[in-house]
């Protein structure tokens, strides 16, 4: 049997088929639609999730930071979904979950929406929504929250460092022209908040991390694409939501992200210390669930609020289900689903 051009050991193929059955049971496999029983109150036409969760099988020379960029993810996102795996030396034939499915933030679905808590930007274009990994402000230089607009665009922008930046590093010149030393990269979208931009970068490994002085960084190839779509005057909403809930095919899903201390811990140790659920989480989930609250597996919810995996998990039970849970992924053998849509990469749902 082959997967993405590679020949698989028969035992691995069997493990993959077994995992597919597990995924279907816990809700990670693709859903065919609403069940006939017990679903009368579910919002059948409400779709709050974009993308599909994937897995990736590492090669001997794999570096997860490069995998992250390939799939427009940040390294913290990958570490949260795969705690304990060294992003620099993951080892060969390791199964890595790629958190490429996302619940839309609770915000107006127009223009640009940035959720600082998940280090992601959403763009609501003409009939479609796309999302991109971002870098945000570090401690002491937090990216502001609220509503603003794009007031200017620039190709190959000139950088005028702020006084705060020059105090941190007096060697920084007052003006940095376009070029490889310019931290704004090749494109910049200027916000209505003075000195705050959405821009590219000359240090792509900073995307998906808290390393800036407050600006929003994107991978160079992603900001170039977004730049062509966004017009001056586009509204920008910046929120900070660690817990998100949304519906897909009549089922309620939950997505929980690490807090900033855990993000910093993931960067250094590739794992994080467990913390209590974010305040008000259960009340928020009950509010979103509405009439479907009786189908929610609240024990599973409480466990996921602590795990903070950073990708959506189904929390409503279907007819006949008693309890929900995640499958044990055989990371050592590369066991995963059999459908492959990118070489070495498979889709979970």
Known catalytic residues are 199, 215
Decide if 220 contacts 186 (C-beta within 8 A).
Answer: yes
Q: Count of CB atoms within 10 A of residue 93's CB? A: 17
**What's the confidence (pLDDT) of residue 20?**
37
pLDDT digits (tens, 9 = 90+) for 306-324: 999 999 999 999 998 888 8
pLDDT digits (tens, 9 = 90+) for 9-39: 333 333 334 433 443 433 443 332 322 223 3
Counting beta carbons within 10 angstroms of the beta carbon of residue 2, is it exposed (0 to 12), middle (13 to 18) or buried (19 or more)? exposed
pLDDT digits (tens, 9 = 90+) for 54-81: 999 999 999 999 999 999 999 999 999 9
- Cα separation, 94 vs 67, in Å, equals 13
Query: If you average pLDDT over residues 285-301, what whole number do you get?
Result: 96
290, 199, 306: which is closest to 243 by C-alpha?
Answer: 306
Decide if 216 contacts 92 (C-beta within 8 A).
Answer: no
The sign of the CA dihedral 267, 28, 110, 128 is positive
Backbone angles phi, psi at 265, to 5 degrees: -65, -40
Write the CA distances from 75 to 61, 121, 312, integer angstroms.
17, 15, 18
**What's the confidence (pLDDT) of residue 213?**
81
pLDDT digits (tens, 9 = 90+) for 138-167: 888 889 999 999 999 999 999 888 777 777
Query: What's the token pair of residue 44?
Result: 């059948």
**What's the confidence (pLDDT) of residue 39?**
33
Write the CA distances from 283 to 229, 286, 314, 323, integer angstroms.
37, 5, 18, 21
pLDDT digits (tens, 9 = 90+) for 186-241: 999 999 999 899 999 999 999 999 988 889 999 999 999 999 999 999 999 999 99
pLDDT band at 265 (very low <50, low <70, confident <90, very high): very high
**What's the confidence (pLDDT) of residue 162?**
79
**11 or 259, which is more confident:** 259
pLDDT band at 2 (very low <50, low <70, confident <90, very high): very low
**Domains (range + CATH), the chain:** 1-99+243-349 (no CATH), 107-239 (2.40.440.10)
């Amino acid at each position: 049997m082959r997967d993405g051009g590679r020949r698989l050991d028969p035992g691995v193929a069997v493990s993959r088929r077994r995992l597919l059955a597990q995924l279907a049971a816990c809700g990670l496999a693709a859903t065919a639609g609403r069940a006939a029983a017990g679903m009368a109150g579910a919002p059948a036409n409400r779709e709050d999730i974009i993308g599909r969760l994937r897995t990736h099988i590492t090669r001997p020379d794999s570096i997860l930071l490069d995998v992250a960029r390939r799939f427009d993810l940040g390294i913290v996102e990958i570490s949260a979904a795969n705690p304990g795996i060294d992003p620099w030396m993951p080892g060969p034939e390791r199964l890595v979950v790629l958190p490429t499915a996302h619940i839309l933030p609770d915000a107006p679905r127009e223009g640009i929406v940035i959720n600082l808590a998940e280090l992601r930007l959403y763009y609501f274009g003409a009939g479609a929504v796309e999302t991109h990994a971002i870098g945000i402000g570090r401690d002491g230089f937090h990216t502001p929250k609220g509503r603003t607009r794009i007031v200017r665009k620039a190709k190959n922008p000139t950088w005028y460092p702020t006084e705060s930046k020059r105090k941190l590093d007096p060697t920084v010149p007052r003006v940095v022209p376009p070029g490889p030393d310019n931290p704004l990269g090749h494109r910049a979208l200027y916000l209505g908040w003075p000195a705050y931009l959405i821009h590219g970068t000359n240090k792509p490994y900073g995307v998906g991390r808290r390393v800036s002085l407050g600006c929003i960084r994107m991978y160079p190839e992603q900001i170039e694409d977004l730049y062509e779509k966004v017009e001056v005057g586009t509204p920008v909403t910046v929120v900070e939501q660690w817990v998100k809930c949304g519906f897909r095919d009549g089922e309620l899903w939950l997505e929980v992200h690490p807090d900033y201390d855990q993000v910093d811990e993931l960067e250094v140790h590739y794992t994080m210390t467990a913390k209590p659920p974010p305040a008000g989480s259960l009340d928020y989930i009950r509010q979103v669930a509405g009439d479907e609250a009786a189908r929610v597996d609240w024990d599973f919810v409480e466990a996921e609020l602590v795990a903070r995996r950073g990708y959506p998990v189904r929390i409503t039970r279907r007819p006949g289900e008693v309890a929900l849970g995640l499958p044990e992924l055989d990371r050592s053998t590369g066991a995963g689903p059999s459908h492959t849509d990118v070489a070495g990469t498979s889709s979970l749902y």
